Structure 1
Amino acid sequence: MDRLQAMQAYVRVVEAGTFTKAADSLDLPKATVTRLIQTLETHLRTKLLNRTTRRVTVTPDGAAYYERATRLLGDLDELEGSMNQARMTPRGRIRIDVPGVVGREMIIPHLPDFYAKYPDIQIELGVSDRTVDLISDNIDCVIRGGDLTDQSLVARRIGEFHFVTCATPEYLRRHGTPAHPLELTQPPHRMVGYFSARSGKVMSDTFKRGDEVVEVVGNHVLAVNDANAYLNAGLAHLGVVQVTCFMAAPLLKSGGLVRVLEDWTVDPIPVYVVYPPNRHLSSKLRVFVDWVVELLGSQSTAGLKVRCALS
């Protein structure tokens, strides 16, 4: 038995939750992964996994073995990295997942600069607003906005998004200009809704003015779950929108959008780069994370940490 390969296969099965996903991520036949786990259990003289037709679960012995195995594999990766040129010249594949607007507007336009520094790194970039499972989907890191609910993940705060409330001139001509956020909850006004891809619930919008706080679920005829679709709906005169400053800035300057409720503020959303707690932060992933922190933390590049400074 190749004990190292068996250990790697076992860790991947635990993280992926199924033999099929584990085999796909390891680029091995499912039968090979199954045989490796069976041989490992025989060698250890203990049952590591409980198998069902849909999923596998970890036994108490399996949980203890997984914890030690992930540490050992991480130490091995670190050792190998320190002993070869890859540490000086990061190379290999990394899987990243980012929200649609971050990928299209921020990351992708600046990737030529990244590849100029690290030409041997291959990035598989998932670009969508859906929530992914870092462990089972075998993703190295994600960029996420908002408060983090999974405290088991490792998160590094890299900035925050500021928002502006706006509408098109045509919308304001048809429906008038709102003077208070509560006007957005009933006709003639309406907002473009944004619903959670996970729960399907339309999210509320919170406005602040001094000590006054107003939370509203706007009257809407359309709700979407993608930031670009949300902005496009606003540009189609379908309602008032709350848009990130970096997306709104060129449209506000050109007159495509007009600010409304300017004396009301919206809390910024924190932005994090997140990765699994047991995932070794390899040199190739580390340089990408550092690059993203520098990129998204730059006021001139991303508009993070800066309120809309628009005339």
Structure 2
Amino acid sequence: MDRLHSMRVFAKVIDEGGFAAAARAMDVSAAAVTRLVADLESHLEVRLIHRSTRRLSLTPTGQGYLERVRSILKQLDEAEAQVDATVRAPQGVVKVSVPAAAVARLLGSRLPALQQQHRGLDLSLKVADSPADADGDIALLLGGSNAPSTLDPDTVTRAVLRSPGVLCASPRYLERAGVPQRPADLQRHDCLLAPLDGSGSTTPTWRLAPPEGSKPAAPPAEIKTNSPLSAQHPDTLYAAALGGLGIVGLPALLVEDAIAEGRLVPVLQAWAAPAFTLYAAMPSRKFVPARTRAVMDFLAHGLKTDA
């Protein structure tokens, strides 16, 4: 039995909340995961996990063992990362989760530049359905002026791209409901709510900055909106706006193609919606693998250039 591999599988089962989920995450069969955990329990001569048809839970012994396993695996990963960072060129697969399909396209269009810099690197992209699903080696997350507050305090984050916010809707919706001429008009419109404040939670109030140079200087407009839909996942709001459900506020980088093609129309352009920042986040580690560090450095600089 490869005890270290079995320990990794055991920890993954707990992290993913089940044998089948761990098997999917590790791209192996569920039977293999079950067998490896059973082999580990047989070797230790103790049950680590209570199994039932509905859920699994750690035994008291399993809880203590898991804490030691995590410590061992972390030290092993750091030892390998130290070697990786000092003697190896960046190579291997880096798993990156992204908050929207448009961000995946943005990153994908810049992959040739990354490949030119590091021939041995490959990216595995996953669109996360919600911030809670963001995982892998690096997670790209949308936030406001600050990184999302839901992140673990030990997470290392870097702001990699800033995008202005845009209020827009489909031509079909605007033909039906009319085009808002001033912020107060939004109160009679259907507004699709996104986490505009970067907190990770949706808010029923939109804050719009007044036109530059307005005289007398106008205060920001605080608009309490009516919403048929709120969602943390920007692709959901984007699709709903395309379908004519209402006015949405999203980063320009997500909607610029649809606006250029006439599928979405910007509204209240003189008033500035809150800007979005794209953050790259990774767990804090003493030694970061060279491949992960190379991708983080690329994200911090490569996304700001034209593809």
TM over 0.5: yes
Say if 1:75 and 1:242 are closer, same or farther in 2 by CA, change over 3 A.
Answer: same
Maintained 8 Å contact 1:248/1:257? no
Maintained 8 Å contact 1:181/1:216? no
Tell me by how many angstroms 1:148 deviates: 3.4
Among 284, 287, 297, which residue is 2:291 paired with? 284
Please give the secondary structure, in 2, of the residue aligned with 1:268.
Answer: strand
CA distances 1:120-143 after superposition (whole Å, capped 9, x unpaired) = 2232212365445356xxx33321
Task: Tell me which amino acid in the other structure corresponds to 1:79.
Answer: A
Task: Tell me which amino acid in the other structure corresponds to 1:69.
Answer: V
Task: Tell me which amino acid in the other structure corresponds to 2:184.
Answer: L
Q: CA–CA distance in 1 between the matches of 2:67 and 2:73? A: 10
2:150 aligns with: 149
Say if 1:67 and 1:281 are closer, same or farther in 2 by CA, change over 3 A.
Answer: farther
1:88 aligns with: 88
CA distances 1:2-60 after superposition (whole Å, capped 9, x unpaired) = 32222122122121221223234445444443343234334445442222223322234
Q: CA–CA distance in 1 between the matches of 2:244 and 2:134? A: 37
Task: Tell me which amino acid in the other structure corresponds to 1:143.
Answer: L
Name the stretch that deviates more: 9-18 or 173-182: 173-182
Among 185, 201, 223, which residue is 1:215 paired with? 223
CA distances 1:254-297 after superposition (whole Å, capped 9, x unpaired) = 998555262x433323432234568984322222222112234x
CA distances 1:191-244 after superposition (whole Å, capped 9, x unpaired) = 552579xxxx98635124555541332477x88887567568767887544343
Name the stretch that deviates more: 247-256 or 64-73: 247-256
1:53 aligns with: 53
Q: CA–CA distance in 2 between the matches of 1:127 and 1:23? A: 19
Name the stretch that deviates more: 224-233 or 19-28: 224-233
Task: Tell me which amino acid in the other structure corresponds to 2:58.
Answer: V
Task: Tell me which amino acid in the other structure corresponds to 2:119.
Answer: P
Q: CA–CA distance in 2 between the matches of 1:247 and 1:22? A: 32
2:184 aligns with: 182
Alignment of 1:37-116 (within 5 A): 37-83=37-83, 88-98=88-98, 99-104=100-105, 106-116=106-116
| Number of residues of Structure 1 aligned to a counterpart in Structure 2 | 287
Identical positions, percent: 26
CA distances 1:92-117 after superposition (whole Å, capped 9, x unpaired) = 2232221222112x211111111112
2:14 aligns with: 14
Say if 1:165 and 1:3 are closer, same or farther in 2 by CA, change over 3 A.
Answer: closer
Maintained 8 Å contact 2:82/2:288? no
Alignment of 1:234-253 (within 5 A): 240-246=247-253
Q: CA–CA distance in 2 between the matches of 1:167 and 1:134? A: 28
2:121 aligns with: 121
Task: Tell me which amino acid in the other structure corresponds to 1:118.
Answer: H
Unaligned ranges ≥5, structure 2: 196-200, 210-217
1:271 aligns with: 278
Say if 1:55 and 1:155 are closer, same or farther in 2 by CA, change over 3 A.
Answer: farther
Please give the secondary structure, in 2, of the residue aligned with 1:90.
Answer: coil
Maintained 8 Å contact 2:50/2:56? yes
Maintained 8 Å contact 2:49/2:59? yes
Unaligned ranges ≥5, structure 1: 303-311
